[in-house]
Amino acid sequence: MSKVQLPVYKNETVRGTVQDLTYQGNGVLKIDHYPIFVPNTLPGEVVAVKVTKLTKNFAWGKLLTIEKKSADRIDNPNWKYLQTGIAPLGHLTYPAQLKFKQRQIEELLEKAHLNLAVAETLGMAQPFGYRNKAQVPVRMVQGQLTTGFYKRGSHDLVPIENFYIQDPVIDQTIMIVRDILRKYKVPAYDEQNHRGVIRTVMVRRGFYSHQVMVALVTNGRALPHSTEITREISERVPGIASIVQNVNAKRTNVIMGPENHLLWGEPTIHDTLLGIDFTISPLSFYQVNPQQTERLYQTAIDNAGLDGSQTVIDAYCGIGTISLAVAKHAKHVYGVEIVPAAIEDAKQNAANNGITNATFVVGKAEEQFAKWQAAGLKPDVVIVDPPRKGLDEQLIEATGKMAPKKVIYVSCNPATLVRDLQRFAEQGYQVTKPIRPVDQFPQTTHVESVTVLERTQID
């Protein structure tokens, strides 16, 4: 480090104009072309910053004062939310957040020399209080069991009662459960010593059904005062339908363990998405913003151009959310997912909704695509909704060999989307409409999108 002459030093106070906003939502200040990343600052703002950390290529800074504010700044946000990373864009007006997300995709396309249009981001009328699931850590703070969220980049718990982006009934439920656990003096989990009982409180609430599930994640099977705690939760939580104990006895950052014990009510709750009833268990993957998920999936379905005659493959199908919505408009849908429990849920959800034209299989999407291709399956449309790492090259190649007319790419990571679009081009697929960003996670930096690819080059 000493060989490199940096233009700033640690603990120095520097002043300047914020030039940009990173994908993580941090402002970028430059001193002699050397970038300093500063949370809670916006482009155009003139700021004083204390340099907190140095590397060869960039530094981190802490905001001291804003000498000139951005017109897009929201004044006096609750700093706690930014500190914890719950709402890293909470200081930015909502129209500016939507532009920021559109621009994220545009910049990555420009870097890849792809001349593609990006439509405006589909936003929400009410961009807060939208999350239908919370997993809130529980720790002892000043001798008292406390719920909250970790400060960004640490395991220091910030006590929080209003989470800002969660369904307010979920916030209320967490407070009720916290107070009941305090009443019975149940010890919170201590990570350092791997002792204590309650690690996490998980709450889900159906957006349409209003059914509530509470899961107490414990450090072992023992739950002191289980009967009294369960009775009080069942009496005091509005809409309660399910109380579960989830056992996670491992030293791990994974939030929930594999073992569930039903304490009260039903083992699952229900909710609907695009008119289809879904059964949700404590471990089910289910989209956390159902209003925007409906818009995201409807955008995908509309762009698939289905008239009831098509065969569709849904890669990464999860519990069947896209597949079952598509089944109404297709001849047959095939779904593949690596998680066996999710495929069981998908089959059950199909049966519960009387959907008979959907086939679900467990497997790696890329391996199953190769099998389907070898078996001569000829899909008209392929829908992909991969994890953040994007698509496996083998899957893109198998898709090219099966030669569907359309590929609908639902993406949660613009960087891997752009990479995969280049790979699809090698298979003869071109983007035929502006990419449509959808704001699934308002107040955060995440952006989902729908891209339509069509086959232009037939072997």
User: Annotated active-site positions, please?
Assistant: 412
Residue 146 sits at the vertex; the CA angle it makes with 248 and 445, to the nearest 5 degrees, is 80
Place of tokens 């920021």: 100
State how far the Cα of 141 lies from the Cα of 187, in Å rounded to an integer: 11
Token pair listed for 43 = 């482009």
Contact criterion met (CB below 8 Å) for 335 and 360:
yes
DSSP 7: S
Contact criterion met (CB below 8 Å) for 267 and 211:
no
Q: Which residues of 219-254 are buried (b: 16+ CB within 10 A; e: fewer)?
A: beeebeebeebbebbbeebeebbbbbbbbbeeeeee
**Does residue 458 register a pLDDT over 70?**
no
User: Which domains, ranges and CATH numbers included, belong to the chain?
Assistant: 13-73 (2.40.50.140), 133-273 (2.40.50.1070), 289-455 (3.40.50.150)
Phi, psi of 325 (to 5 degrees): -70, -40
Q: How would residue 139 be classed by pLDDT, with cut points 50, 70 and 90?
A: very high
State how far the Cα of 414 lies from the Cα of 436, in Å rounded to an integer: 11
State how far the Cα of 405 lies from the Cα of 366, in Å rounded to an integer: 19
In the chain, the percentage of residues whose pLDDT exceeds 90 is 90
Token pair listed for 209 = 């059904």
**SS3 of 417, please?**
helix
**SS3 of 229, please?**
helix
Q: Average pLDDT, stretch 229-256? A: 97
Q: What is the pLDDT of residue 335?
A: 97
Q: How would residue 389 be classed by pLDDT, with cut points 50, 70 and 90?
A: very high
Q: Average pLDDT, stretch 23-36? A: 94
Q: What is the pLDDT of residue 83?
A: 81
State how far the Cα of 270 lies from the Cα of 209, in Å rounded to an integer: 7
**Does residue 220 register a pLDDT over 90?**
yes
Token pair listed for 104 = 């994220």
**Cβ atoms within 10 Å of 1's Cβ, excluding its own:** 7
Q: Average pLDDT, stretch 73-101? A: 88
Q: What is the pLDDT of residue 118?
A: 98
Contact criterion met (CB below 8 Å) for 37 and 27:
yes
Compute the CA torsion angle 401, 406, 409, 410 (nearest 10 deg). -140
Q: How would residue 17 be classed by pLDDT, with cut points 50, 70 and 90?
A: very high
- Binning the chain into helix, strand and coil, the percentages to the nearest 5 are 25, 30, 40
Q: What is the pLDDT of residue 1?
A: 46
Contact criterion met (CB below 8 Å) for 421 and 433:
no
Q: Average pLDDT, stretch 159-164? A: 93
Contact criterion met (CB below 8 Å) for 38 and 26:
yes
Q: How would residue 46 be classed by pLDDT, with cut points 50, 70 and 90?
A: very high
Q: Average pLDDT, stretch 276-293? A: 92
Q: In the sheet where 13-17 sits, what is the strand order?
A: 13-17, 46-54, 59-68, 34-38, 27-31, 20-21
Q: Which residues of 161-170 are buried (b: 16+ CB within 10 A; e: fewer)?
A: eebbbbbebb
Place of tokens 């407070």: 175
Contact criterion met (CB below 8 Å) for 92 and 72:
yes
Q: Average pLDDT, stretch 238-259? A: 96
Q: What is the pLDDT of residue 341?
A: 87
**Does residue 182 register a pLDDT over 70?**
yes
Q: What is the pLDDT of residue 3?
A: 64
Select from 31, 33, 32 the least CA-distant residue to 49: 31
Q: What is the pLDDT of residue 63?
A: 95
**Does residue 78 register a pLDDT over 80?**
no
**Does residue 437 register a pLDDT over 90?**
yes
- Angular region, 428: left φ>0, alpha ψ -120 to 50, beta rest: left
In the chain, the percentage of residues whose pLDDT exceeds 70 is 98
**Does residue 217 register a pLDDT over 90?**
yes
- 335 burial (CB, 10 Å; 0-12 / 13-18 / 19+) is buried
Q: What is the mean pLDDT of the chain?
A: 94
DSSP string, 55-72: -SS-EEEEEEEEEE--TT
Place of tokens 């818009």: 295
**Does residue 81 register a pLDDT over 90?**
no
Q: What is the pLDDT of residue 30?
A: 95
Length of the chain equals 459
Q: Within 13 Å of residue 162, how many CA atoms lie on the same side as its CB? A: 6
Compute the CA torsion angle 389, 393, 396, 402 (nearest 10 deg). -140
**Cβ atoms within 10 Å of 172's Cβ, excluding its own:** 18
Q: Average pLDDT, stretch 156-177? A: 95
Q: Show Cβ contacts of residue 142 under 8 Å, excluding neighbours closer than 6 positions.
A: none
